[in-house]
Structure 1
Amino acid sequence: MTTTKPPTMRRPVPPEMLRRGRCPFDPPAELAKLDDQAPLSRIELLNGAHAWVITGYEQARAILADTRFSSDNVRHRTAMDLRPEEAGEPRRPVELPQRADGRFLFMDPPEHTRLRRLLTGQFTVRRMQQLEARIREIAVEHLDAMRAAGNSGDVVPAFALPLPSLVICELLGVDYADRAEFQERTAVALNLTKPEEERQAASEAIQGFMRGLVAYKREHPADDLLSGLIHGDAEPALTEEELVDIATVLLGAGHETTANMLALATFALLEHPDQLALVREDPSVLDNGVDELLRYLSIIHIGPTRVATEEITVAGTTIAAGDTVLISVPQANRSAEHWPQPERLDLTRPRTSHLAFGHGVHQCLGQQLARSELRVGLAELVTRLPDLHLALDPGEVSLRTDMLVYGVHSLPVTWS
């Protein structure tokens, strides 16, 4: 088997496609402008290469479900990964006999299918129900600590970041004594405001930690996801590299997105007092309301990214083999053809098939866990911190417009 690491991710997207307007929760105006013209648009990236931006809901959903669009960023270089001098060159897939890593988010069937099936078997209803009780305990513990420190604090470091980090610890089976160190390294590795050298060192430390954890779980299995993967009936058995990669992918996918959704959703509720009042009166409104927040906020700027493996026609437009497509989830989730008044946040809106968790074979494995973290976390936050409100002007909230995952850098709040 051949092991090839994916290229370093770069985001040569024109800045106007990431720039938010007066409302921090609306998609960038440039995306809405493109969508008014057509559901898919060809744009030039900052590296001189071209890509298709998909803003239409139906078109985005169709592409995400179409396996002719590849997720394999090892075999298929995307336009996002090209240097300026390569922008005009034809892109051909890298020929590999078989991938030996475990980065399943960036694989196609059948390699993806094998790992996905093994992971699906670990995301059991019983395990998710057990984790929900721990989610509530973790949430209460951190909110009690915020209250004990006074009547003001920052939601991001005090609550939104540690909650999913500690839940991931529960899922993977990280020993309680190691969790503080694990959480600290994770916070550094996933913080794009940190120097690259510092983030790289933290990432390497996490990889080393995961290797040690895999070795420990081989000798001391328990009722956790990693033990299940090691001692399950996988045929062939997962290698150490696959296990380490899988654990690391779950860490990033399950931590960064949920942490930013928790903080940004809090900001959105504080800016929509009528919706905040609904949660205070009856937290069960979040049973469906969490999906409305996911639709309304859609924290992935531009992405997922796919590469066409053959010539494909979408909405009457021909996409050539080798072309890159960028799915605009924020704009697709504001489709007026799919939702009445999509620009409104309405927690009572019936649950619909939004694209915040993706679609097709790569639809988020941990979406039920993420829903639980958001539902429990937001309900406890709103009810345990009375009269919660921003401690600064809304226009002064620092937004993550320069990041792959949208959200807020910090969210200072006060309460009674």
Structure 2
Amino acid sequence: MAEFQVDADGTRVFELEARPGSSDFLPGVQTPTWGYNGDFLGPTLRAERGQRIAIAVTNSLDEVTTVHWHGMHLPAAMDGGPHQVIAPGDTWRPTWEINQPAATLWYHPHPHGRTEEHVYRGLAGMFYVDDPSEAPALPNRYGVDDIPVVVQDKEFTDAGELTMGERQAEPGVLGSTVMTNGVIGAYFEVSTEMIRLRLLNGSTARTYDFGFEDNRNFDLVATDGGLLAEPYSTTRIRLSPAERAEIIVTLTPGDIAMLRSYPPELGDVASSFAFGGEDTFDVLQLRANDYLRPSSAVPAILHNHVRLQEADATVHREFTMAARMINGAQMDMNRIDEVVIEGTTEIWEIRSTDRLTHNFHIHDVQFYVLSIDGVAPPTELAGRKDTIYVEPGRRYRLIMQFGKYVDPEAAYMYHCHLLRHEDEGLMGQFVVVGTNDPQPSSLSGLNHQH
């Protein structure tokens, strides 16, 4: 958990340093890596709804980077996308007020054309948002019964260095080794009857289908944007890159439970084998102590969702992904692709017309899935989301409401979160403007250099 200071005005201030390091993933081998405040990955940041925070990010790498607060509702100039560049040796200090429900978010770089490598080398961390006014009795002691689980796949050279393989390979790195929180063969000693695992697919291209070796049920209680309305008992949860899920697992004294990734259902892709659709990995072994402290039962009601109504949507947009383009265009840092009016409720229809694996992430907002091919979404997609896997040929209708952060000169992104796809052009950007403001078409070469 990250340490912080509190300014005189009550702002909670964190410090992050992106820096090179070295990690001992393999016996007797030191692997060059990058990390925040350490050699690999970064500390968990934590703040409450209503708090003002500031994060001083220092770039100690020898190339530019950014830090994006994935899933966070905040001003575009603080979003950490490709326009908020941090030069080597510089420090960027975004500040904003946390204004969204409790959720498991994360942070990672977003430099244009270089995001895949920056994340792959180790720049990523969790960001917990708490809301004391909406806190059901779930396991919540960090590192005891509330555990971050960052799952990533890696590929190593014979010398033990991380390799990304052929840069033009599709869909990106699909490593033969899976690590959890930077550890190969990870395990956790459990001391309570129930444990809350906050799963993050931190991979750059691989989709996982999480479940246990013994096929035991677990309770899905939250997805990207926070709690579901009620727990959902299941044996599997599919997560594409950047998606999150919070699950509650029940154990008995002496229990051994292996969390695995099973072959994921990828839809009508060109080659399930080539895209990782036939792979199985051990992810995290849970080892229960001989005595387990009692846990409270999972509440039957988790959150009273006030859902957006389709009848309130005044704008409909369509986005078609194909190869490295959205609506037939590759990313242009100066072009504004969409202009959103503050406060509007919109429906975005997403589809993929090629047979590659894709997903879709929207900055700043959490959305609800209205339908997939005209049918209501499955229960695991009923909550707030900011990223969704898009099976080829299917239509996903998403509803979202845009908030108060108006800035015609700072853009938010939407893109495929398979990071090689993003780097090579499968991304667009939008600005939020006031009701009576002019609608800009370009950012005029704007580059927020820090």
What's the TM-score, normalizing by structure 1? 0.27
Is the helix fraction higher in 1 or 2?
1
Higher strand share: 2
Structure of greater relative contact order (alpha carbons < 8 Å, 6+ residues apart)? 1
Query: Taking structure 2 as the reference length, what is the TM-score of the superposition?
Result: 0.25
